[in-house]
Amino acid sequence: MNIVEKLHKEFLAEASSSSILLNDLAAMEKYIAESYMGRSLIELLQNADDANATKFYIKKLKNNTYLVANNGREFTEKDLYALCRSGASTKKRKSGTIGFRGIGFKSVVNYAKTVHLISGDIKATFSRDKTRKEIPDIEMVPLIRIPHIFCGENFDKEIQKIFENGYTTIFIFETENDSLENEIQGFNISCMIFLRNLSEIMYYGESERLWKTSREKVSNISKVITCFDGTEKISWLVFSSEENKPCDIAFCYDGNKVVPASKEAVVHSFMPTNNGLSIPVKINGDFSTDPSRTKITIDNETMDAVKKCGIFLSEIATNIINSGKDELNIIKIISMGKIDPLSNIRGKSISDYFVECVQERIKKYFQVIANGKNIYYQQEGMTDNDFDEIINRIGAIGIGQEQGRKILGLIDLLKIIGINPIPTEKILDAMETLNCEKPTRIQVLADVVQNSRLGINQDIKEKVRKAKLIEYDKGVKSIEKQCKDDIVEESFQGAVVEKLGTFSGLEWFAKQMNIPLQKGNSSKKGNTEIESRNMVFTNHIIKKWRSVEENFLQFVQNLPNVENAIDVASKNIGYDIEVTLKNGEHEYYEIKSVNRMGESFSMTNNEFSSAIQYKNKYKLAVVQQSKSEFEVCIITDPANSLILNKRVTRWEWCCNDYSGEVFQARIEN
């Protein structure tokens, strides 16, 4: 007597002696199938993965009949026994397998009326009709309970072909509806990201489909998984914890850096759930789910998995911060995480718990670094030299914009975890004796004015009076050393107004502090004409207190064919301005500031490489700016249109003679 005959006899005798039990099992099977609606294909995939299969094969043999095979470990007698009994899986939680309940296979009841199993020495058929013939008096019978002697001989030729192609386990489903077909057509390849073995799914029906993943090791804890669904590829940079398994973090990867995962940012319990994440990544762990496996259940196991994933991601982040560079932009992705502000009312979601864990661990890391000292970040507008000097004077730990330029998103992350910029009071104290650079003084004055909208704090007022803050026509000095004929220097005043966005705020503050401003409303936007040999553009905003780079950005943003222009100079990618045209195309501008047109300039190797790459889309903007004039010479495709000499000592490309399309602007006060 083989195992199929033995189990048939055992379960048939059990059913005959207890018809109520068999009825209950049939009802439970139906409930399980309804709970797993739409996920039977996924259950078959994870079972194949647990059996160490690398290939999965589906073929539509005829209407409503499907052959499903994998090349994993063959079925054993123990496996068959577990398949027949509900909740009697041979797989246990935390054992390294995906499934553990032993009920997922019952989801095939959604569509199958007959199931044939062929694997190793086991050949069996599950059929309600056959079971009813043997127990005619029972109202309801389950499908996956009593195995029958195999009766799928009409499929023998197909079965033989599949075995010859290296497959080891075959299921044949004779179905009653299109449920399986619909699951196949709607299959999402993201279901394969956290499978450990399965890398290929083939489907042969009315049309052929192929889903495939490849794995490329990056480090001991990371790999790039590229998913191909037959039409497009998407790659994921996956970090896997060696200490806590399963614990995986997957970043969407464009081949050079990570990018936000958008709607794909969900929690996986190996397979994707409907629980989204505000940090745009995927996380995979031993999360508890409801019977459908589409929703995370918050219990001790889930909270333990959240903690493991949170700690792991924070370790990835702190290792990057320690290294001082983030070529992949991982910190920028992490800085996007937000906790729902209404979580105290609605209750915390899985995303809230995860983000909270990540942020608390990163905050603790900075506290350890500070070792009891205050830690501040450099606010925008303050120069690097001034920031370093003030941090040194007050004996604090500083995180500067230079670090922020190397690790994009770092400053945003610091803000989120509660680290503050240097308090204005401390900056003003330092400025009693420190001669700060102009951009710093502009920023500090703008901050003071902005924060004084509801009244000037007396302590701040005294500090402002003593600080070397205001730039007058005759130089920088404190308000208390101001002379009768002093007046605020025009470009300094204009830059502060531009920071504030309004002249009235500065005007009110100046009256309170007795600061003599330039006459007129510096916030009024003048009308400047941009001229070229054959074109005239109006309404450009060219301000003489702006830097060359800022004025050029304004110039480009107002060109008639430009949809948008952004400053990307801090990314060090070979150009300063990235332009999106109204037709959807892109252009890339590198700015070269000269004292006079015709003066030589140089290109770095990085810029020259970008010019070669983008050809006609790459443009050099040679800019000459004075108090009364703003002139731009645009050179298209400089790598091919200019005579460049390579200067080996600094690896720069130098140009002494050039011509291009010239634009001029007359600057009005």
Strands 266-269 and 282-285, by their bridges, are parallel
Q: Residues 652-665: pLDDT tens digits?
A: 566 766 667 666 66
Number of CB atoms found within 10 A of residue 385's CB:
11
Q: Any alpha helices (H) in 72-190, and if so which ranges?
A: 77-84, 128-134, 156-164, 179-185
The answer, yes or no, to whether residue 649 has pLDDT greater than 50, is no
Specify whether 514 is located in the same domain as 549. no
- Please provide the average confidence, as pLDDT, over all residues in the chain: 86
> Which pLDDT score is estimated for 143?
81
Find the farthest-apart pair of alpha carbons in the chain and give their distance in angstroms, rounded: 114
Q: 58 in helix, strand or coil? A: strand
The total domain count for the chain is: 4
Q: Which residue has the higher pLDDT, 222 or 456?
A: 222
The kind and range of the H/E element at 174 are strand 169-175
Residue 488 structure tokens: 């605020």
Token readout for 278 is 């505000």
Across residues 105-119, what is the average pLDDT? 83
pLDDT given at position 33: 63
Give yes or no: residues 173 and 28 share one domain.
Answer: yes
Residue 159 lies in a domain: yes
What confidence tier does 554 reach under pLDDT thresholds 50, 70, 90?
A: confident
Q: Is 378 contained in some domain?
A: no
**Percentage of the chain lying above the pLDDT 70 cut:** 87
Q: Is 471 helix (H, G, I), strand (E, B) or coil?
A: strand
Among 508, 524, 540, give the residue marking a domain's end.
524
404, amino acid identity: G
- For 88-92, 191-195, 315-319, 602-606, which range has the lowest pLDDT when averaged over its residues? 88-92
In this structure, are 140 and 216 located in the same domain? no
- Looking at the predicted structure, is the pLDDT value of residue 410 above 90? yes
Distances in whole angstroms, Cα of residue 651 to Cα of each of 125, 606, 611, 641:
74, 10, 15, 20
Position 548 scores a pLDDT of 82
Does 494 lie in the same domain as 361? no
Asked whether residue 519 falls in the same domain as residue 534, the answer is no
pLDDT reported for residue 530: 38
With respect to residue 543, please indicate whether it lies within any of the assigned structural domains.
Answer: yes
CA separation for the pair 469, 481 (Å, rounded): 11
Which CATH number covers residue 14?
A: 3.30.565
292-311 per-position pLDDT tens digit: 778 999 999 999 999 999 99
In-domain check, residue 243: yes
Residue 229 shares a structural domain with residue 142: no
pLDDT band at 470 (very low <50, low <70, confident <90, very high): very high
SS3 state of residue 481: helix
Name beta bridge partners: 227.
Answer: 213, 234
Higher pLDDT, 627 or 159: 159
Task: Select the more confidently predicted residue: 595 or 465.
Answer: 465
pLDDT band at 599 (very low <50, low <70, confident <90, very high): confident
- Looking at the fold, whether 358 and 221 belong to one and the same domain comes out as yes
Asked whether residue 8 is assigned to any structural domain, the reply reads: yes
Query: Is 387 within a domain?
Result: no
Burial zone of 595 (CB within 10 Å; 0-12 exposed, 13-18 middle, 19+ buried): exposed
Kindly give, in sequence order, each residue whose CB lies less than 8 Å from that of residue 475, ignoring residues fewer than 6 positions away.
none
Q: What is the pLDDT of residue 165?
A: 95
Q: Evaluate if residue 105 carries a pLDDT over 90.
A: no
Structure tokens at 5: 């005959």
- Do 532 and 519 share a structural domain? no
Pairing of strands 200-204, 55-62: parallel
Residue 33's identity, in one-letter code, is A
Q: What is the CATH number of the domain that holds 608?
A: 3.40.1350.10
The pLDDT tens digits for 506-551 are: 988 999 999 999 875 443 333 333 334 434 344 445 665 667 888 8
Whether residue 373 lies inside any domain: the answer is: no
Tell me, what's the pLDDT at 259? Answer: 95
Q: What is the pLDDT of residues 15-49, one digit of tens each?
A: 887 777 777 777 777 766 666 566 688 888 988 99
Mean pLDDT within 444-460: 89
Same domain, 520 and 569: no
**Residues 70, 48: contact at Cβ < 8 Å?**
yes
Q: Give DSSP secondary structure letters for 188-199.
A: -GGGGTT-SS--
Phi, psi (deg, nearest 5) at residue 81: -60, -45
Query: In the predicted model, what is the mean pLDDT of residues 149-160?
Result: 94
| Whether residue 514 is found in the same domain as residue 536 | no
pLDDT higher than threshold 90 for residue 115: yes
Average pLDDT over residues 119-143: 88
Backbone angles phi, psi at 94, to 5 degrees: 70, 15
Question: What is the reported pLDDT for 282?
Answer: 97
Which pLDDT value is given to residue 37?
Answer: 62
Pair 260, 292 in one domain: yes
| Residue range 125-153: mean pLDDT, rounded | 88
For every residue of 129-158, DSSP letters joined together read HHHHHHSTT-S---SSSS-EE---GGGHHH
Q: Stretch 597-625: mean pLDDT, rounded?
A: 86
- Asked if 260 contacts 251 with a C-beta cutoff of 8 angstroms, the reply is no
Two tokens, residue 266: 């969900």
- Three-state SS for 336? coil
**Quick check: is 376 in a domain?**
no
512 and 552 co-located in one domain: no
- pLDDT score for 489: 92
Nearest to residue 111, comparing CAs of 171, 29, 64, 176?
A: 176
Matching residue, tokens 């300063």 = 576
- The neighbouring-strand residues paired with 577 are 567, 589
The parent domain of residue 24 ranges over: 3-187
Count of C-beta atoms within a 10 Å radius of residue 357: 20
Q: What CA–CA distance (Å, rounded) separates 586 from 614? A: 10
Q: Which amino acid is located at 513 in the chain?
A: M
Whether the pLDDT of residue 316 is over 80: the answer is: yes
If phi > 0 it is left, if psi is from -120 to 50 it is alpha, else beta; for residue 574 that is left
Give the separation between CA 626 and CA 636, rounded to whole angstroms.
24
One-letter amino acid at 361 equals R
